[in-house]
Amino acid sequence: MSPNPLNELGSLGDYLREQRQSAKLSLRQVAELAGISNPYLSQIERGLKRPSAEILQQLAKGLEVSAESLYVKAGILDEEFAHDPEALDVRRAISHDARLTARQKKTLLDVYDSFVEDLDSAPAKTPATTRTPR
């Protein structure tokens, strides 16, 4: 059932270990800085356990990286979302708007697509289906 089996987990662990080693810190040091136990950190780095968001927050603090970047690697946050959205994209903005229902999003996206379709010379774009950005 778990949507992020161990792929993303391993990637997260690798990233954490890289960060720790490039900072020349031991497992115990980072564990202490983050306020978690060192055996547990060891298991996280090797992808054996799946840390909660709370633990990720503490680890981010200890490693001096952003919590959001860890969330992204753990698969609980969209990458696009973490990247500060200076680059504005209408489709993306619409699909992330918490105030819109799914149906309203589809309506807006369809309208938008119909507008831009006209100027894309003759693209024969996919008409109605909501294309998930990503």
Partner DNA sequence: GCATTTTGCTAACTAGAGCAAGCATACTTA
Partner DNA sequence: TAAGTATGCTTGCTCTAGTTAGCAAAATGC
Q: Which positions touch DNA (CB under 7 A)?
A: 26-29, 35-40, 42-43, 45-46, 49-52, 54-55
* Cα–Cα–Cα angle for 117, 119, 122, rounded to 5 degrees: 70
* Integer Cα distance of 72 and 66 in angstroms: 10
Would you count residue 86 as binding its own copies (CB under 8 A)? yes
* Cα–Cα–Cα angle for 40, 43, 46, rounded to 5 degrees: 150
Would you count residue 99 as binding its own copies (CB under 8 A)? yes
For its own copies, give the closer residue by CB, 124 or 128. Answer: 124
Q: How far is CA 46 from the centre of its chain?
A: 20
Give the residues lining the site for its own copies (CB under 8 A): 2-4, 52-54, 57, 64-69, 71, 74, 76-77, 81, 84-90, 92-94, 96-102, 104, 107-108, 111-112, 115-116, 119, 123-125
